[in-house]
Structure formats: C-alpha cells, structure tokens
Structure 1
C-alpha cells in the first residue's frame, strides 16, 4: 500500500532500515509498513528546507501562486486514490473522505490567490524627506505536525499557507495515518517548487519532533493535536524562540433553544455527531436542550442514532466507521460506563458494536440526564457520544456553556435573530455556528481561544503566522 513512499527529503523519496506497520481500524490487520525516520533523516529534511528557503522566497507571490494551482490540479486528478487512502487508514465513510480531499484541494487554490495579496504599506514619517515602508517576508522554515483524524485537510491547512508565504516545510504527519500525506506531498512535486520546499518525515517523537524543535533554523511550528502536546510544544519552542500556532482540543457546547426548528436541529446534529465516529475536534459534545423540547429531541435523536449503519468506510452504504484504535475504543467505553454509574440514563448504544469480530466499532450512544461535572461533559469525549442535559434559563445555559476551559467551537439553534446575536457575543469560543455546523472552509479563519489553541488556519488570517513584518525608514 505504501510502495514508492517513505521519507520525502530534498525532492525525492527515501527508504529506511526501520519500518513500522500501519493497522486498519476496520480489521485490526496491517495495511502495510512504512519506513521510519531516523534523527539524521529529520536533520537532512531541515537541511533541504534551509537550502530551498532563498529560492522559494525569491520566487515571488505570483510564481508561487501558479505553483499552488498546479499542485491543486494534480491533487484533483488523484482524488479517488486519496479518498481510498483516507478511508483505509481512518475507517471513515468514503463520502466523507472524498469531501475531505476536495476541501484540501481548495486550501491550495485559496492560498494560491492569497500569495498574490501579501501586501505592505507606506506610512508617513515625521523625519523630513522620510517615509516608513512596511513589508512582509517569509518567517523561515516551518515544522508542521498533524493529527490522524483528518489526515488530508490538516496537512493542507499548513502546507498551503506556508508555501504561499514562501516558507519551506518539514511535515510530520501522524504515523497512524501517514499515507494520504504522502500522496499530497507527491502531488506537490507537480508544482515545480525548489527541491526541499516540502519535506516529510514519519517516525517517533524522538526522531522527528525532537530535531525539529531543537534546530534554531526552524522558525515556526504549527500543531494540530491535544492540549497536552500543545503545552509541551510551547515550552520546547521557547528554547529557540520559535513562532507557534496550534489548533488543540475542543469541548463544544450545543444549545437547542425553545424556539429552535427541532427537525432542522436533528437533521443537522445527528450527522455532525457521528461524522468520523465523533472523532472531530469541533463536533458538538455538550448538548443543552431546552426543557420544552428535551424529551422530543432525546427520543428522535435516539431513534436516528440507533439506525446508523456501521461498517467499513470503503463500503458506500456505511454511515459511520470505527474508532481509530483499541485504546480509543476502551476510553470511549470507560467514559460511557462512568456516566451511567454516576446517574446518566443510557438511551441507546453504550457498548462495542455487535456483529463485528474485528476492528474498533462502537455503537452511536445517547446519554440523557447528564450532569455538568461528569467526565463525558467535562472533557472532550472524542467519540460517538451525544451527552444531553436540560435547561430553562438563557443566561444560565450560556454560563454553563462557557464553563469549559476549551474554546474552539460552539453552536446554537434558534429562530430569533436577536437571540442568535446575543448568543454569538456571549459564547467564549473562536468559532460559533448558529443553525449550522459548517465552520471549516478555506475562506474562513479556523481556530480557538483559551486552551483550544493559538492562531488561525484558513481565510486571509491563515497566512499571517507564516510572515514576518519588516519596517524600513527611508530618507532622501
């Protein structure tokens, strides 16, 4: 499955004397084996990026834009291959995988145009005959670290703006889902960028993360991962004063007000909750449903969740695939059992899916009568669990929604425009969806506040973290 791939350094694939198996979450069996980077491979990748930096910066925004469009064209031509790889490695339904790749292509097209719009400005100087010129320059070599749950869109969100800005990248994708990042990097060859503009290493933390964080030539690091890993990265980045941006965990509240369109809320919420088996950082985790709609919402959500078709993501009839690995399965089950033991009502699910002798399948699960201090509510559950509680007072539910230290995404359903505006202002979150879960788009800034991260990916804001600002005072 990984033939012809490996570490990508200086414009060429290279092997290794060390290999590691990648397991299918559907069967638990190996999909294949990938070469594992040694520390010297990572150092070579940084060396290659350093060599590419001057040429990439000197290309100029219009030339880099053309290169990114060529990359996007190649990615579009290999869409079927990429979608198959995503579903094989993650287990997610093939339709979701195809959409993820389309959104990844769109990142390259969006940032191709942003490359043409890296503007400076001229500022009047108080010095006679002088003026200030403000220009933007590439920050330098970027270390990019991505998680397994969106193995295409997460690398694309880092590679596209970095290349648009003129920054070479050392990409370290998750070793659980490395294949689609390798396909993407292979597509980048079509851009005609300098060798070393993009490099890929896969391996242990010591062999990949360690050399990147220690090397002072790497001037920025970008992470999609857990809050715990993000906190460690901030500490490590301080040693060489690297710029840091990161999208970390979430624990999104969902408020269903008494005036919500119940059918619309259910039509949108059930698919959002079970997408990628709930392994989505922006998925709704904490369901606050107004008392007047609570019973009807729980009953219908339970009916729909119980009818979800589980299976191999490569089967077009599958609506939900497995969890990524056995430890995730065990953790989800522990969260559910703890909630039930503490008094929550199990409406459906709550166990490993029957009928699957292999893989990591867990039933879509609905819990009602959940208390705010239960772990299923207090922490990001990252699984197919709808944890539901009641509310009656608007101010109180907003306070409860804001009780989490996380601040990535938040949602509400209401028919009232003024209530929508009040809710949007009140929620402490980097992103808010009102009657919508569609937050991830190349043209929109994606990211959180508080313990959910720093910086933004997407939109015109997404290129900012890859640029340094230079001021020149010019007097004649």
Structure 2
C-alpha cells in the first residue's frame, strides 16, 4: 500500500469550471513520508480571483433564494458521494499530509457527517415572533450574511474545509474556499463532490495561491461579507485587520497550547491509554492536541515512566502502512521547528524522557516526552504543533488551575479526576472555549468548536456554526 499512486489532477474551480496551470504559476506538492514531489498545484491569478468574486456575487443571489429543502438535498448528496469516494480521498490525504490512512478515513467520514448535519440544521434556523398589541406584528428572522471567504490549514484540510463549506452553504451563502496548497488533491475532491451533487456552478469556488496575495485580494472586495479562518494567531490578526476595512464579519479559530491536568485520584492506566494516542494523533499537529501535562506530585514519577515507555514504542512510519500509528510531519519546515523547541527546553533544564530526534528520508520526528520542563522554556509558552508532550508536577488544585490559565491561549483544556465536585470546578474555572473532563472527545458535528483569548472567537459546528453565517433582522408591522 505504501506504493499507492497520487492520482489527483490539480486545478482551480471557478464559476463551475476546472482551470489547469496554463499561464499560471505553480507550486510543488510533496509527499511528507518521502520528501518527493508528487504534483504541482496551479496558483490563482488576479483575474482568477476577480472571476471567483463575480461568480460568488451572482451565486449568492440565486442560492439564498433556493428552497432550504433543495439546499439540503444537495448537501446530503455530497455527503453520500464523499462516503463513496472515501478510499481515494483518504489516500490522497495521507500522501499529501502524512497522517495514517485510518486517521485519514476518519477525517473523510467526519466531513461527510458535517454535510449531513448541516443539511438538516438549515431547516431549524428559526426566528421569533414577539408579543405585540392586537393588529401589530414584530418578527425576528435569520438571513445568510453573504459571500464568504474561507481559509483552512493543512492539519485537517478535508474536515475543516467541510466544516466551513457545509455551514455556509446550508445558511444560503456562496463561498470562495482557499484550502492549503500542501493538500490540494483531497480538498479538491470535496468541491468535486459538491459539483457532482448538483450545487449551482457559481455558488462554490476553489482557489489556491500565495496566501497573503489571495487574502488581500479577496478581502479588499466589497463582495465578501464574511471571513472564516482556521490557523495561527499571527495570521488571524493579519486577516482581522484586512477585514476591518470592509467591516466584514469574522470567525477566528486560532492556535492553542492545551493544558492537561492529571490528578492523583484518576485511573492512571486508563488515562494513559487515552493520553498517548491523542498526543501523537496526526503527529501532534492538532490545534487541541494535549500538550502541557500538569501531573499531581504523588503520581508524577509513575506517569512519566509509563508515558515515556509508551512513547518510545509508538509505531511511526509511512501513513499508508497498516502498522503505522503516527506519520511524518506535514512539511519540511516542521522538524526543524520542533528540534529548536526541544533543544531549547533541554538547554534550560528539561529532561528528555523519550524521542527528541529526526529520522528517515521524509519529514519525520520521533514521538517525544520532555519532563520537568521549566516555565521559561519556549515550548512551555509557544505552541509546538508537533509530537512533543511537556510535563511538570503540581501540588494543589489551585496551582494546577493557575498553570492551565497562565498563557494567552484558550482553545481547549483537559482534566482527569474522579472527584465530581472538582470536575465541576475545573469546568467553570479553566479559561478555554472547550473543556474535556476525563475525555478528549470534544469535537463533533453538533458541537460548538472555538476558543477564547488569543485562540480566537466565534464557534464552528453545531447550531452556533450555522448562526455564524447568518444575520439577524427584526421586522415590525403596525
């Protein structure tokens, strides 16, 4: 299976037509397990972006007037097609991004679920009727915000793109999607499924390009009324500044540095059974990846010893191999970035308990555990976005909460305890948009997903995700 063929024909999708690389610059696409170039993706020109904007403007006018049942039927059909094409999409995803094939299949299944969920949720975008004197009426209705520009990252390119597309299309918006250039084949397959499901030609556009060039061009246009971005804090700030000039609505799902509080009354073996695969899922390239482990003193040594043993034995390799549980990092920049953080932590006094080195021909970095990491180490303050766990002991619940809330990030946090009252307190006091208590399962189609503080604002998923693509209008009649 490791010799699978990369079979994507990479193009832009604008106004219902696929456009190849003729006359356009192109960017190589790499297989991160080998470092080899597998394809080239065409980059949109200014003329392409203008055509996409014009199409999105036309598409919005027709799509918002389309009956919600008709919209739902198309989204359901797209979900069916994605499921039918799971093997091909997942293989492309693994060859572009590196994650194990089983994880890729799960991501594709999650994308299909999102289209099904929002197909039905669109029918429940209810308004309100207000109490007024006899003969008068006041109603509150929800309407689509307008054409949307969506920007998605390379760590979950299929799922995150689907999360934005499904909600926006269900609300009645048109969309210009700019997925990552690292993963064009798998994301193009999602747009192809929508087109094959009968989505009108001018409702969804797919463009690749230099990120700063594309974002500046799209956000400068009055056509775009909403920006949805998932990615780093610095880029999020940059896009917010661009959006401010046009007073465009913004949803930002930015970085995290998730704390994990492990108390001495937890079932430690069961906790570790969950911790290790979650930490190294997608090679740690997950915005809600458990990273900062604060462990109560009485179980700290046992935790480190067992975590290190499991980390050292974790199977790493090409994601197409059935025995692989962790693949390579997504691009050639990441191993160097991870090495720099690990080296800095060790230099400042941390103990390298497992891993800590690159290997192989691709973009591989061994699963790594750092113990007794000082607070001044960069990795305790900067999101590593890689297969590295950092750990420190704590004495009291108050100290653990203080450390969990110490950073400006506030996307996800986790805690493990069998004390119900403590769990309630932690849920209330930890500063994060999502808190998992004795679980890492915090994301689903019906679940709001978003952060606080520097981790952004607004939610995707659930009815909150649909609302983010709608505006509220009050109509009064006397």
TM range (shorter): over 0.9
Alpha-carbon distance in structure 2 between the residues aligned to 1:195 and 1:90: 29
CA distance in 1, matches of 2:212, 2:309: 47
Alignment partners' CA distance in 1, 2:239 and 2:61? 27
Instruction: Determine the C-alpha separation between the residues in 2 that align with 1:55 and 1:194.
Output: 9
Residues 1:414 and 2:400 are matched in the alignment? no
**Structure 1 residues 228-237 or 199-208, which shifts more?**
199-208
Structure 2 residue 348 is matched with structure 1 residue 346: no
Question: Contact between 1:161 and 1:466, CA under 8 Å: does it hold in 2?
Answer: yes
1:103 correspondence with 2:110? yes
Mapped contact 2:9–2:185 kept (Cα < 8 A)? no
User: 1:203 — aligned with what?
Assistant: 209
Residue aligning to 1:178: 184
| SS at 1:470 equivalent | strand
Q: Distance in 1 between matches of 2:433 and 2:63?
A: 32
1:456 aligns with 2:459: yes
Aligned residue for 1:116, secondary structure, equals helix
Does residue 151 (structure 1) correspond to residue 151 (structure 2)? The answer is no
Which of 52-61 and 402-411 deviates more? 52-61
Structure 2 Cα separation of the partners of residues 421 and 345 of structure 1: 33
Which residues of structure 1 form unaligned runs of 5+? none
> Contact 2:8/2:92 (CA < 8 Å) preserved in 1?
no
Partner of 1:76: 83
What residue in structure 2 maps to residue 317 of structure 1?
323
Contact 1:4–1:13 (8 Å) recurs in 2: no
Quote the offset at 1:61 in angstroms: 1.6
- Residue 39 of structure 2 aligns to a residue whose secondary structure is strand
What does 1:307-386 align with in structure 2 at a 5 Å threshold? 307-353=313-359, 356=360, 358-386=361-389
Match of 1:28 in 2: 35
**Which residue is equivalent to 2:304?**
298
Q: Using the alignment, how far apart are the partners of 2:331 and 2:246 within structure 1?
A: 35
State the Cα distance separating 1:3 from its structure 2 match: 4.7
Q: Deviations over 1:197-243 (max 9, x none)?
A: 11000011354212111001100000001000001111110111100
CA distance in 1, matches of 2:378, 2:443: 27
Aligned to 1:398: 401
Larger mean CA deviation between 155-164 and 113-122 belongs to 113-122
Q: 2:3 corresponds to which residue? A: none
User: Is 2:52 aligned against 1:45?
Assistant: yes
Residue 193 (structure 1) shift? 2.1
Match of 2:12 in 1: 7
Q: In the TM superposition, what is the alpha-carbon distance from 1:165 to its structure 2 partner?
A: 0.3
CA distance in 1: counterparts of 2:215 and 2:46, whole angstroms: 9
Q: What secondary structure is seen at the aligned counterpart in 2 of 1:463?
A: helix
* Secondary structure at 1:245 match in 2: strand
Residue 38 of structure 1 contacts residue 207 of structure 1 at CA under 8 Å; is this kept in 2? no
> For 1:196, what is the secondary structure of its paired residue?
coil
Question: After the TM superposition, which residues 46-61 of structure 1 pair with which residues of structure 2 at under 5 Å, given as runs?
Answer: 46-61=53-68
Q: Distance in 1 between matches of 2:166 and 2:362?
A: 34
- SS across alignment from 2:413: strand
Query: In 1, are the aligned partners of 2:216 and 2:242 still within 8 Å (CA)?
Result: no
**1:93 alignment partner in structure 2:** 100
Which residue number in structure 2 is paired with residue 247 of structure 1? 253
In 2: Cα distance, 1:421 partner to 1:31 partner: 50
Matched positions, count: 471
Cα distance in structure 2, aligned partners of 1:344 and 1:450: 28
Name which of structure 1's ranges 8-17 and 203-212 shifts more when overlaid on structure 2: 203-212
Is this contact kept in 2: 1:56–1:193, CA < 8 A?
Answer: no
Cα root mean square deviation, aligned: 1.1
Residues 393-420 of structure 1: per-residue CA shift (max 9 Å, x gap): 1011101110010000000111111111
SS of equivalent residue, structure 1 residue 253 = strand
The question of 1:446 aligning with 2:449 is answered yes
Give me the whole-angstrom Cα distance separating, in 2, the residues matched to 1:217 and 1:124.
Answer: 36
Q: Which runs of 5+ in 2 are unaligned?
A: 1-5
CA distance in 2 between partners of 1:226 and 1:436 (Å): 25
Q: How far apart, CA to CA, are the structure 2 residues paired with 1:11 and 1:439?
A: 36
* Ranges of 4+ aligned residues in structure 1 off by more than 4 Å: none
Please give the residue correspondences for 1:255-266 in structure 2 after superposition, counting only pairs within 5 Å: 255-266=261-272
SS in 1 for 2:143: strand
Contact kept, 8 Å, 2:232 with 2:254, in 1: the verdict is yes
- Please give the alpha-carbon distance, in whole angstroms, between the structure 2 residues aligned to 1:240 and 1:191: 33
Corresponding residue for residue 234 of structure 1: 240
Is the Cα–Cα contact under 8 Å of residues 255 and 383 in structure 2 kept in the other structure? Answer: yes
The answer (yes or no) to whether the contact 1:24–1:30 under 8 Å persists in 2 is: yes
Q: State yes or no: 1:214 paired with 2:217.
A: no
CA contact (8 A) 1:39 1:206 kept: no
Relative to the length of structure 2, the TM-score reads 0.97
Deviates further, 184-193 or 288-297: 184-193
Shift of 1:136: 0.9
TM normalised by structure 1 equals 0.97
- Equivalent residues of 1:2, 1:33 under 8 A apart: no
- SS state at 1:237 partner: helix
